[in-house]
Amino acid sequence: MTTRKALFKGRDWLTTQEWSGAEIETLLDVSADLKRKFKRRLPHRFLPDQTIFLMFFDKSTRTRNSFEAGITQLGGHAHFLTADAMQVSHGESPKDTGIILSRYGHAIAIRHDLIPGEGNSYMREVAKWADAPVINMQCDVDHPCQTLADLMTIREKLGSNLRGRKLAVSWAYAPSYAKPLSVPQGLIMLMTRFGMDVTLAHPREYPLMPETLEAARENARRAGVRFELTDNMDDAFRDADVVIPKSWGCLDTMGAAPAESLRIARQHQDWRCDAARMKLARAGALYMHPLPADRGNEVTDDVIDGPQSVVYDEAENRLHTAKAIMALTMADAEIEYEPGDWGA
């Protein structure tokens, strides 16, 4: 394979919408190259002595560990910061936070996802004042680290040409807590750009943000693919090549009354991914979930632990895509890499 070079020094990674298709292809190629290097235990210290600050307004397992492990493998260091332990909890402005942290280190990553209208706006205000790249680890609008890993996983399993493939993004019942809307929103915006026909399914009480729906429609129009909505989970699963059923909260109650989202959810406990629903999809269809899955509610054990499930491959790719985002936006020198090999 030929060797390419790439440099996106200083770029913010706030939504996938703000990066071109060619730029996202570069991210995927670098992710694949870093994955090969990791598997072969080849050193890839593209960020020696660099520091990234990880600000969390919500709990995390995969996101925190993919960034902490990733920056270490790239030769740098992460500072794990929770909002309650920072002056943010006492009202420090995003301006002051962005200026100071970017003078102390080389990037700022933020997770702020539970209150619609707050997270993405906060990140953009930090980015406005910071001299270092700001990375969205999940906000109220998008989860661009997760959806990039999802796209990487789908292409690993189905090949790079996804035209004609159907993706079902569906709401699923969970009693645990009102989960953010950003994963389904990010999926419908990104996958329509890369050739997939996307069907979004949810009970009528669980719509997504209007601006993300409009972005998905426009992306689908430009790509010449279908983007459809339904309030029937079976219709979404029918003939799908990939299914991603997960819970999210009610847009109108997420911030002020999240318990109301859970009360409404109890009316839709039949929105569950089980073996019968998987049979509606195409033979060998992929089951995916960003995790943690609410076992027995969102999905039955025989599906998530079954042969069609790729959730652990999907979770693993969070490491490699996080590393690619950091490497490309933080590196002082151009990164040499081999293009991805996307075979089914």
The mean per-residue pLDDT over the stretch 175-197 comes to 95
Query: Are residues 172 and 247 in contact, defined by beta-carbon separation less than 8 angstroms?
Result: yes
Whole-number pLDDT of residue 341 = 65
- What are the pLDDT digits (tens) for 9-32? 999 999 999 999 999 999 999 999
Question: 182-191 and 210-223 helices cross at what angle (nearest 10)?
Answer: 20
Answer yes or no: is pLDDT of 173 > 50: yes
Q: Which residues contact 216 (CB under 8 A, 6 or more apart)?
A: 188, 189, 192, 198, 200, 227
pTM of the model: 0.95
Beta strands in 68-212 (DSSP E): 77-82, 107-112, 134-139, 166-171, 197-201
If one compares 172 and 91, the residue with the highest pLDDT of the two is 172
Q: 245 and 150 in one domain?
A: yes
Q: 236 and 208 in one domain?
A: yes
- What are the pLDDT digits (tens) for 46-71? 999 999 999 999 989 999 999 999 99
Q: Which residue has the tokens 């996938």?
A: 16
Query: Are residues 166 and 196 in contact, defined by beta-carbon separation less than 8 angstroms?
Result: yes
With respect to residue 138, please indicate whether it lies within any of the assigned structural domains.
yes
Whole-number pLDDT of residue 344 = 40
Q: 170 and 56 in one domain?
A: no
Whole-number pLDDT of residue 254 = 75
Q: 260 and 193 in one domain?
A: yes
Q: 166 and 111 in one domain?
A: no
Strands 227-230 and 197-201: parallel
Looking at the structure of the chain, the number of domains it has is 2
Rounded to whole angstroms, the Cα distance separating 10 from 132 reads: 6
Task: Calculate what percentage of the chain has a pLDDT beyond 70.
Answer: 97
Sheet of 166-171: strands edge to edge?
227-230, 197-201, 166-171, 242-246, 286-287
What single-letter DSSP state applies at residue 339?
P
Largest CA distance in the chain: 55
Answer yes or no: is pLDDT of 332 > 80: yes
Answer yes or no: is pLDDT of 343 > 60: no
Q: 285 and 166 in one domain?
A: yes
Within 142-241, where are the H helices? Answer: 144-158, 182-191, 210-223, 233-237
With respect to residue 343, please indicate whether it lies within any of the assigned structural domains.
no
For residue 64 the two structure tokens come to: 């925190």
Where residue 195 sits, what CATH number does that domain have?
3.40.50.1370
With respect to residue 63, please indicate whether it lies within any of the assigned structural domains.
yes
At 89, the pLDDT band (50, 70, 90 cuts) reads confident
With respect to residue 118, please indicate whether it lies within any of the assigned structural domains.
yes
The mean per-residue pLDDT over the stretch 251-259 comes to 77
Buried b (16+ CB within 10 A) or exposed e, 32-41: bbbbbbbeee
With respect to residue 344, please indicate whether it lies within any of the assigned structural domains.
no
Q: 150 and 126 in one domain?
A: no
Q: 168 and 260 in one domain?
A: yes
- What are the pLDDT digits (tens) for 112-156? 998 899 999 999 999 999 999 999 999 999 999 999 999 999 999
Q: 281 and 187 in one domain?
A: yes
Q: 167 and 56 in one domain?
A: no
- Bridge partner residues of 128 (DSSP): none
Domain containing 23 equals 4-142+318-335
Other CB atoms closer than 10 Å to residue 170's CB: what's the count?
26
